[in-house]
Amino acid sequence: MKITAIHCFPILVGWRNQLLIKVETDEGIYGWGESGLSGRERAVIGAIDHYREFLIGRDPMQAGALWQELYRSQYFEGGRVLSAAISAIDIALYDIKGKALGVPVYQLLGGRQRDRIPAFATAPAEPGPEMIEQAKQLQDAGWSCIRFVPMGQNATDYFEPRESIAKTAPWMVRAREVLGPEVALGIDYHHRLSVAEAAAFCQRMPSGTLDFIEEPIRDETPSAYASLRQLTDVPFAIGEEFSSKWQFLPYIERNLHQFNRLDICNVGGFTEAMKVAGWSEAHYVDLMPHNPLGPICTAASVHLAASIP
């Protein structure tokens, strides 16, 4: 079997950009993939156009070898744009392999380890009575993990961290009081805070209010997370922007966080995601897959989650 064509489909769904790709073969089998890096699709398309030149005529069943070639075949290795392109290609190759062999992709990853994939729901309203009501409705509907957004999340002009902290923390305390101890609660700050601001936010709430805080600060400097780790006991969920196992390395090996927000469409597809999953298992870091995109990302995330412990 040989790869004969790779087509890119940049689309806008609601307010989010998505990039789907279709890899075709000479046996009529095709695979779908999706890239992350939402908002930079044209850059990713440029990388895929480059990779297409030496993928045509190659065997799609050799996904692991092709991953290494895509990542290492230029002087400047990796990076978020290239990894997003590799992710889409790798996911499509696994789709082709599963179809060619007549098995679900999770069988290619070691087989299914669970029949149900736990997930969380987000209460979209900013902190206030409406947020509490949304969370109660989610809890009544059976959701056992609920994520919140901070005050100012939907601001269209600017975000003021200290204002957000002051207005968000009391409503997190209120959410815990209303929802009780059994539901897991988290909040996603989308790396809008500094170390001092994130510490101040966490310290304004009693211990046990939150089960995780997602992306409180930017991730370029692991030592900043090490400093924040010393200032709060709230578990950290990070990694949705990480584009390789090497970017996860210092966080996993230094025990800086508790949840890996691995995004299969950013990290390098199934080939790289499974390596990060094994590494996480060895260090007792839980996987919290990140899936903000479209149906291909959703399907790939389900197969990944089904096949890891």
Active site residues: 190, 290
Q: Are 88 and 19 in contact (CB under 8 A)?
A: yes
Q: Are 226 and 255 in contact (CB under 8 A)?
A: no
The rounded distance, in Å, linking the Cα atoms of 84 and 44 is 7
Q: Are 210 and 172 in contact (CB under 8 A)?
A: yes
Q: Are 135 and 123 in contact (CB under 8 A)?
A: yes
For the chain, first and last CA: distance in Å? Answer: 33
In terms of DSSP H, where are the helices of the chain? 41-55, 63-72, 80-101, 105-108, 129-140, 161-179, 195-203, 222-229, 245-253, 264-267, 269-282, 295-306
Strand 121-123 to 236-238 pairing: unpaired
The DSSP 8-state label assigned to residue 155 in this structure reads: -
C-alpha to C-alpha distances, 286 to 228, 237, 268, 270, nearest whole angstrom: 19, 9, 19, 17
- DSSP per-residue codes, 90-124: HHHHHHHHHHHHTS-HHHHTT----S-----EEE-
Structure tokens at 153: 């999340």
Phi (first) and psi of residue 21, to 5 degrees = -130, 155
Our measurement of the distance from residue 165's CA atom to the centroid of its chain's CA atoms, rounded to an integer in Å, reads 25
